[in-house]
Amino acid sequence: MRARLARFAVSAAVIGAALLAWELAVRFGYLKPYQFPPASRIARGFVELSTTGFPTGVSIWSHTLVTIGRVLQGYLAALVLAIPLGLLIGALPFLDRLTAPVVVFCRSIATLSLLPLVIVWFGAGELTKIVLIAYGCFWTMLSNVIAGVRYVDPMLIRAARSFGVAGIELYRTVVLPAALPRIFAGARMALGVGFMVIVGAEMIGTIEGLGALIMEARTFYRSEITMIGMLVIGMLGFAISSGLAGLERLLLPWSGSLDEVRR
Amino acid sequence: MNALARRLRDSDLAVGAVGAFGLVAIWEIAARTGLVDPQLFPSPLLAIEMAAARLTAETVGENLAWSLFRVFSGFGLGASAGAVIGIAAGWYRTFGMIARPLIELLRPIPPLAWIPLAIIWFGLGEPSKFFIIFLGAFFPVVTSAYHGMRSIDPMLLRAGQTMGLGGVPLLFRVAVPAAAPDLATGVRIGWGLSFGVLVAAELVAADRGLGYMIINERNTGGSVGVIIVGILLIGLLNLVTDAAIGAATKRWIGRWHGT
């Protein structure tokens, strides 16, 4: 406990010192304030963002809510499609062998490269962003669900068989619980992918959302607002991934060696 | 069933090829018979025909070369910097105490979110794209290198010291090889991220490269065929390079850890 506290104090000191050095470098003219807005200016920008908003009327909170809403819609759509499909493919080895190259190829297509195509198909509105997020989340989720079901420790299955468990019963009572840690890890990775994709997708064709905020601020030479947007995106990502990790420990206490899965 | 047919059925490659060709064939038939609008959903072969009518192979090759050049150089710099800093932070305590908080602070920010700031710092030219790709490789590599260094079996280090190694030789002969598998995982993740980031950076701000090629095609109201060919090329490129990097790192680790 004491060691952790000391480490925390050192971290805080290092970050504080870096901010101070930055502030001084700007004051003494070594760094341009437009390129490297110091902490004091970022703080003032934050007050403006949370009250008046940027562009005027849209506060940082509504930008954040818009982004979260988009991510969640795409993410949930992906989960709803990927989990049943993955459970099916994972349960039928022949189907898995048949579809494996397609899954690998679709997964390696950079999600944002689909942006021009999706704009042609669905226009430049909300649907396009949600489709892109869903695409990115879907393949990550699907391949993890398949792998989770397929690579259940064969010892577990053999043990269950020798107790006379078979068929759907075996799938439900042994395979599924054993696959859940990997499936959960996939869900976590997929949400990370969703957050990557949304920032890029919002840079084109919208003025709402955190990705749009940081891009708009750049056009108006408001680099401090860009930086606030980046920090909010970072904190959001961090909060979500540590929140999900906590949830995972709570829901799946039997998944001990998750570090192996996470790779 | 004869022997050949049985062997084909048991080969993952053959079954997978059947699946992939089957999918393309269904798409092809649907587009040719007008079941789906070939102007909007052209099948791969139709798309290649449409693209060939609009672009020369040279233009495509030039954009491809630019994308590859950017991603390889940005990734090379980012992965090297990440490896050096991560290893140093894991080995030298004081440096680690200073570097870690700063890295942990910036790490959760996705590389794409740096695009506007990169433009502010470096303008719209090449350096801003290199910087973003650099970040895509840097953060996964630096964290995995640090993690690898911190989870070395202390027995290995003690054994090395007993045999008279110390300081820098101990670092390079024992510690770095021991951390290599973690480092390799980071390199692989970093490559995937660099590649994804490259396309996004080219979509938002570039005047050449595959990402630019496809967004420009859509902005000028060109054919969907070019966009589809571009997307398939990007996917294929990612797949091939990822496999190559996977094989290369496996050989590199294999020197110490077996294959």
Is A238 in CB contact (< 8 Å) with chain B? Answer: yes
Percent of chain A with pLDDT over 90: 24
Task: Output the average pLDDT for chain A.
Answer: 86
User: How confident is the model at residue B1, as a pLDDT?
Assistant: 54
Take residue B112 and report the two structure tokens written for it.
């794409």
Residue in chain B lying closest to A240 (CA): B108
Taking an 8 Å cut-off on Cβ atoms, the answer to whether A115 and B203 are in contact is: yes
Mutate to test the interface with A, among B24, B94, B112 (most CBs of A within 10 A): B112
- What is the C-alpha to C-alpha distance for residues B205 and B159, in angstroms, rounded to an integer? 53
Is the pLDDT score of B95 beyond 80? yes
Q: How far apart are CA A256 and CA A184, in angstroms?
A: 13
Please state the ipTM of this predicted complex: 0.84
Q: Which pLDDT score, from 0 to 100, does residue A58 have?
A: 83
Span B207-248, pLDDT tens digits: 888 989 988 888 887 788 889 999 999 999 999 998 898 888
Would you say the pTM of this structure is higher than 0.80? yes
> Rounded distance, CA B76 to CA B248, Å?
14
pLDDT given at position A258: 46
pLDDT of residue A263: 37
Does residue A82 carry a pLDDT above 90? Answer: yes
pLDDT given for residue A261 in this prediction: 41
Smallest Cβ–Cβ distance between B199 and the set A10, A113, A227 belongs to A113
B102 in contact with chain A, both atoms CB, cutoff 8 A: yes
Least confident span in A230-234, A254-258, B139-143 = A254-258
Distance from CA of A222 to the nearest CA of B (A): 10
Token digits for B42? 């052209």
Percent of chain B with pLDDT over 70: 98
Rounded-to-integer distance, Cα B196 and Cα B190, Å: 10
Q: What pLDDT does residue B58 have?
A: 86
Helix (H, G, I), strand (E, B) or coil at A55: coil
AA identity, residue A12: A
Closest CA–CA distance from residue A163 to any residue of chain B (Å):
30
> Is A171 a residue whose pLDDT tops 60?
yes
* Helix B126-150 vs helix B176-204: crossing angle, to nearest 10: 150
Compute the C-alpha angle B205/A138/B22, nearest 5°. 100
Residue with tokens 């798309």: B47
Tell me the shortest Cα–Cα distance from A124 to chain B, in angstroms.
Answer: 11
Pick the CATH number of A51-262 from 3.40.50.300, 3.20.20.10, 3.40.50.2300, 1.10.3720.10: 1.10.3720.10
How far, in Å, CA of A117 to CA of A132, rounded? 10
With contact defined as beta carbons under 8 Å apart, do A192 and A45 qualify?
no
Whether chain B has a CB inside 8 Å of the CB on A105: the answer is: yes
Distance of alpha carbon A12 from alpha carbon B104, whole angstroms: 12
Span B111-117, average pLDDT: 91
Interatomic CA distance for residues A175 and B179, integer angstroms: 34
Q: How far apart are CA B214 and CA B228, in angstroms?
A: 8
In this structure, which amino acid lies at residue A163? F
Summarize the confidence of residues A52-77 as an average pLDDT: 89
Chain B residue with CA closest to A218: the answer is B116
pLDDT tens for each residue of B138-152: 999 999 999 999 888
| pLDDT for A79 | 94
Chain mean pLDDT for chain B: 87
Domains plus CATH for chain B?
47-257 (1.10.3720.10)
Single-letter amino acid, residue B7 = R
Nearest-CB residue to A226 (from B117, B210, B235): B117
pLDDT digit string, tens, across residues A108-165: 898 999 998 998 888 888 899 999 999 999 999 999 999 998 888 888 888 888 888 8
Angle, helix A39-51 to helix A223-251, in steps of 10 degrees: 80
B26 or A259, which is more confident: B26
Tokens encoding B248: 């290369």
Q: Would an 8 Å CB–CB cutoff place B121 in contact with chain A?
A: yes
User: Where are chain A's structural domains?
Assistant: 51-262
Measure CB to CB from residue A105 to each of B227, B230, B235 and give the nearest one: B235
List Cα–Cα distances, A9 to A14, A16, B34, B91, B113, in angstroms: 9, 10, 67, 21, 28
A28 C-beta neighbours (distance < 10 Å), count? 8
